[in-house]
Chains A and B, each alone.
Chain A
Amino acid sequence: MARIFGIDLGTTNSLIAYMHAQTPRVIPGRNGRAMVPSVVALTDNGLLVGDPAKEYLVRDSERTVYSVKRFMGRGLADVSEELAYFPYRLTEEGGVIRIKLGEKSYSPPQISAMILKELKQRAEAQLGEEVSRVVITVPAYFNDSQRQATKDAGLIAGLEVLRIINEPTAASLAYGLQKRTQGRIAVFDLGGGTFDISILKLKDGIFEVLSTNGNTHLGGDDFDRRVADVFAKEILTRHGLDVQAHPDTMQAVRLEAERAKIRLSDEHTTAVTIDLPEGKGTFHSELTRDQLETLTKDLVEHTLKPCRLALKDAGLQAADIDEVVLVGGSTRMPLVRRCVQELFGKTPHSHLNPDEVVALGAAVQADILSGGIQDMLLLDVTPLSLGIETMGGVMSTLIRRNTTIPASAKEMFTTYVDGQTSVDIHILQGERELAKDNRSLARFQLKMPPLPAGVPRIEVTFLIDANGILNVTAQDVRTAQIQSIQVKPSYGLSDNEVERMIRESFQFAAEDLRARQLIEARTEADAILTATEKAMQQGQGLISTQETAAIRSSLAALEAARAQPDHKAIRARIAEVEKTTHHLAEVLMDHSLKEALENKKLSELT
């Protein structure tokens, strides 16, 4: 049986992990880094994902997608307020956002699928085994459409998604496995784009979620925007440049804002430098931690209300919480830590890397599903109430928020008019009274036998499965016939569309692979060229002129190959350079060793 992998599909970064010798491990890429930036660029050489794509944010911002998670399972109207911040063009089709890159439009699940494929390939290259079955994490507060979109992304990437699991609960699994904690814990998860709070009870290997709350549009991105807005204003007054008109520069400003924010978690003041276009020079400024905190204080305070609601739903006081766990990169901010500490009255801890803990937890859940770990069980809840629209546009709740999943509810339907042959049903998710104030999930038509009013009896079962995803079935009580239902999602891809995207994804896979191999070969060539040049300077006088000439000629050959679109040729030239510089490397090694030894002798003497 193939191994099951755990994937954290994040707003800013994504990771893949697996279980090895009863310990979850993240899988690093060739560059040694475990995090793959959740960035996809459509370049002239094809699609790029991760670190190489990140470079295109400031070079070709209109064709480089980041933070796509914010668009998963959403319509254009949902993100209207932040449209101005994104350099790429967004449209909507069938209730699903489409991202225009060059000539083609992509749905958010398609973009996410590219990130998933990158993770899949990375794991396959590292471990030499096929990656086909996965567990993917989502924010606990994701609604049904957002979960479904995540599942679609997995399908499009050619993966079998065995489970969608909530990020804070995944984190609790990683912690629980490591520490064998008992008691009540609060997981505070503030990531790049989303915020979750989950309250759990841990007892004898059972991880029972008591309540969850959050905000799927609150995270590090929002902090960065506040800072970027300040930089943009300063640039306008001091340099007379409107960065809004320069998407690439806007991205440079956003990235510098993010970096400054990160530095201010360790430092109290930091210098900011941004190169400006059109000969407007370079923007220099300074940002202090105090300034950052003033700019973002209200955003951080937005996390407190969901925390209080979660405590209330769990029937607990802050003082009842035994441990507070921090998850997500944004919890590195001292301001966030202070707020959490104040609310719960105890020092939150984060001894597992907050960037990796969710992926590690996903790997633990994957191991449970494959029958490895048998003494741990996660009992999660549905974050939002599920209901249907009734007469007068009111929502009638069938399954209340924070109900342990799987959860089901049955509802009987009949007709109001003689001979009526169908009843329309509108499924909703949310906590408001009126249907229109809640999230529309889907609509479907229930077929009725043509009988006098009130006689037909169709029982509909609404079942929320262990993924937090809704399944609907119907049965005619009189005939015991099961009725198949075509549910039309309000904000999701239809089954046909997902199928088409899966086909396309395989079609382009070969093309994508070639583009990717080329880019990787070129990146490696660049690194070798630079390193060899440096070594030549250091090794001056240590090798013969003949050898120098040989190296020079191999470097020239590599440079020529690099210009051509053949990754195999580039690789061959790289190998050639490595061969001709072998002796030089040895000489340099001896030389530096000798120097080190001599220094040592000197220090011993004195």
Chain B
Amino acid sequence: MDHTLHNTQTGRAELPMARSMCWHCQSEVTGEYFCDRCVKVQPLAKDSDYFTSFGLSRLLHIDLAALEAKFYELSRAFHPDFFQQKTPAEQTISLGNSALLNTAYRTLKDPIRRAEYLVQLEAGSAKDIRTSPPADLFEEILELQEDLEAHRSLPVETPSGERQRLQSKLRTQREHLEQRQVTMESDLEGLFSEWDALLGQDAPEVGMRAKKDAILKRMRDILSNRTYLRNIINDLIATAGQ
């Protein structure tokens, strides 16, 4: 009996929405999003992040169907449409909560944005902005950039055969880069599993922080490389067409 009670209390303490006081009636807020006493909508806590605002822990594998269902449920709770007849203060809270909710959903539903957000949350900055190619792609990208430049500066009167030859080379290079992107994403997926396994352990392990940081660093590297790669691929599409 005692044990159960203890658990409930822990559960409540972990509730992200547990704020001190209702802005309207000043009573203690015990409801999740609305004051139990005066039924006024409450602003999402300032210290809540995208995960907590969806009632999630910081795991990287997310059940998208459940996420969508929660998004719809919270939208029904907060959307300005349902506050049209309420006071201006409630309308402002509804607007702020909805905007936050929409950004949170957009971030969490996409695995790349989700990972970038987690890295930012756990380790400060989202990713290094890469200005030079990753080491293992260095030579390939150098050559590619020369070809791209060559293609850009082709004179109008270039025989179509030569133009096509260059274009087909660029296409092959692009296919190769896209293959690399797939590999990076599957590596990232592997790190998602490592991360979730680490956080899923029952007892907090010694050296937890260091282990977390190690995974985060690898994730950050992949994310930076991937962004760099995406930019090159977009450049290729813009220059040489689909």
Chain A residues at the B interface, C-beta cutoff of 8 Å:
1, 162-163, 203-204, 206, 365, 368-371, 374, 377-379, 403-408, 463, 465-466
Contact = CB atoms under 8 A, between A and B. Distances in A.
Nearest to A466: B80
A408 B102 CA distance: 9
Interface string B156-194: 000000000000000000000000000000000000000
B75 interface: yes
Interface in B44-89: 72, 75-76, 79-82, 84-85
B30 to A, nearest CB: 25
A379 B105 CA distance: 13
Contacts of A465: 80, 95
B95 A406 contact: yes
Contact of A466 (B81, B96, B105): B81
Contacts of A378: 81
Interface of B: 72, 75-76, 79-82, 84-85, 95-96, 98-100, 102-103, 105-106
Given A370-B85, A408-B99, A403 B106 contact: yes
A371 B85 contact: yes
Contacts of B76: 206, 377
B81 A463 contact: no
A203 B76 CA distance: 13
Contact of B102 (A203, A368, A404): A404
Nearest to A315: B110
Contacts of A407: 99, 102-103
A206 B82 CA distance: 13
Given A203-B72, A463-B95, A404 B84 contact: no
A468 to B, nearest CB: 12
19 contacts: A162-B84, A163-B81, A203-B72, A204-B72, A368-B81, A369-B84, A370-B85, A371-B85, A377-B76, A377-B81, A404-B106, A405-B102, A406-B95, A406-B98, A406-B102, A408-B96, A465-B95, A466-B80, A466-B81
A433 to B, nearest CB: 10
B81 A369 contact: yes
A598 B31 CA distance: 80
Given A1-B85, A463-B99, A465-B95, A406 B106 contact: no
A378 B75 CA distance: 10
Nearest to B110: A315
A368 B82 CA distance: 8
Contacts of B80: 406, 465-466
A203 B72 CA distance: 9
Nearest to B94: A406
A189 B231 CA distance: 34
Contacts of B79: 377, 379, 466
A377 B75 contact: yes
Contacts of A206: 72, 75-76
Contacts of A162: 84
Contacts of B95: 406, 463, 465-466
B115 to A, nearest CB: 18
A408 B103 contact: yes
B78 to A, nearest CB: 9
Most buried by A among B84, B96, B105: B84
B82 to A, nearest CB: 8
Contacts of B98: 406, 466
B84 A379 contact: no
Contacts of A370: 84-85
B49 to A, nearest CB: 15
Given A407-B102, A408-B100, 7 more contacts: A370-B84, A371-B82, A377-B82, A379-B75, A404-B105, A463-B95, A463-B99
A368 B75 CA distance: 14
A463 B100 CA distance: 11
A315 to B, nearest CB: 10
Most buried by A among B72, B95, B99: B99
Contacts of A404: 102, 105-106
Contacts of B85: 1, 370-371
Nearest to A373: B81
Contacts of B99: 406-408, 463
Contacts of A1: 85
Nearest to A376: B81
A368 B83 CA distance: 10
A1 B72 CA distance: 28
Contacts of B105: 404
A379 B106 CA distance: 13
